[in-house]
Amino acid sequence: MQRNDLDNEVEKILHSLDGVERARLSPFFYTKVKTRLQTRVEKVDRVAWTWALTAMVVLLVLNVLVMIKEDLRSNDDYGTDDIEFLTEEYSVNTFNIYEEEQLEEDE
């Protein structure tokens, strides 16, 4: 009995589709869809360029800040007295390539 009821139910559902017709589109449907997709792509491109420009500006600002900081640091160099003191204190011999060349010429 259950099998018969199930078959009747399936037939009823299948016959309900008999009166269905194919959907009709407006004549400009594809043009509208194409326009929507194109404007969507343009918006995505605009957002991507905005992010790229923002990243470049941030990197440029960071570069400038590093350069300024390095410039300030180079202005705060050690004096020659400090360097001489440190070389004597730690027994570091400074070697100048030009002094070696002069020594070889003298010999």
Please give the pLDDT value at position 91.
67
Centroid of chain to Cα 107:
62
Residue among 78, 79, 81, 99 nearest 89 (CA): 81
Residues 6+ positions from 92 with CB-CB distance below 8 Å? 86
Please give the pLDDT value at position 64.
93
Report the alpha-carbon distance of residue 59 to residue 61 in Å, rounded.
5
62-66, 79-83, 102-106 — which is least confidently predicted? 102-106
Q: Are 59 and 53 in contact (CB under 8 A)?
A: no
Q: Which amino acid is at 42?
A: E
3-7, 11-15, 26-30, 90-94 — which is least confidently predicted? 90-94
Structure confidence by residue, pLDDT tens digits, 39-73: 777 777 778 888 999 999 999 999 999 988 877 77
Report the alpha-carbon distance of residue 14 to residue 76 in Å, rounded.
89
Proportion of the chain above pLDDT 70, given as a percent: 74
